[in-house]
Amino acid sequence: MKDKITQAVKTSYSKYGLKAASVEKMVAIIEAKLTAMGVIEPDKLQDAISEVVKGAEPFVELIQSEVDSRIKKPTDPPAPPTPPAPADDSTTALLKTLMEKITGLENKDAEHRKMTTKQELITKALEISGKQGATNSTLLKKAIKLIDIQDDMTAEQISGLALSEYNELQSSISKDGAVPIIPALGDKATVEAAQKKGVDLVDKFLGKPKA
């Protein structure tokens, strides 16, 4: 019976272009309906199959029509992306002002940190110079102001330049060509001797009697 149903479905529904899987499903539906009708005499079986197949045709036609409409229906083009809303002029101006203030604060902070580091180097250089014989703090501070301190200098380098300026200032005060150069390095006795000679020259210049 199934073969006869299959042949009838293929013949009657050929214009709908059913796929093999669809044909098998229709055969199963029609076979189930014929079975539900009870025992059918062999000489009436073909007529019964034709009648059920014909009765199911409107259903097949409806399904095919729906499929065709979906295939032929044009696909809606994707909606274009929504352009970003233009920024409000007042908002843009506010953001610009805030960014300028932030940049200004960052620059001030960087400058402050730079000055702090420089002052720390100068303080250390004064300490090093003092230990190497530059005991006149007022003269030493004047000497260090004459130095062009670069960002990459160390405290030791600053101290060396400060001692050179310090000795030149001592020379200008004492008016003596034989100015005792304060050694950058040396033992305690050497440093003390240089200090004493420098003090004596200053006292002589100022007219102070020796102790």
DSSP letters spanning 18-81: --HHHHHHHHHHHHHHHHHT----HHHHHHHHHHHHHHHHHHHHHHHHHHHHHHHSPPPPPPPP
For the chain, the average pLDDT equals: 75
DSSP 16: G
Closest CA to 207 of 173, 157, 179: 173
Q: Which amino acid belongs to residue 155? A: A
Mean pLDDT of 187-199: 64
Q: Is the dihedral of CA 39, 45, 50, 53 positive or negative?
A: positive
Q: Is residue 139's pLDDT more than 60?
A: yes
Distance set, CA 195 to CA 73, 116, 182 (Å): 106, 32, 7
Closest CA to 180 of 192, 197, 205, 200: 197
The pTM (predicted TM-score) of the whole model is: 0.32
pLDDT band at 88 (very low <50, low <70, confident <90, very high): low
| Percentage with pLDDT > 70 across the chain | 69
Q: Which residue has the higher pLDDT, 122 or 13?
A: 122
Cβ-proximal residues to 57 (8 Å cutoff; 6+ apart), any chain:
12, 13
Mean pLDDT of 135-156: 86
Read off the tokens for 74.
């044009």
Mean pLDDT of 53-57: 82
Q: Is 88 helix (H, G, I), strand (E, B) or coil?
A: coil
Q: Is residue 177's pLDDT more than 50?
A: no
Q: Is residue 4's pLDDT more than 70?
A: yes
Q: Is residue 175's pLDDT more than 60?
A: no
Note the pLDDT of residue 85. Answer: 59
The alpha carbon of 1 is separated from its chain's Cα centroid by a whole number of angstroms, namely 75
Q: Which residue has the higher pLDDT, 180 or 58?
A: 58
User: Domain ranges in the chain?
Assistant: 2-71, 100-206
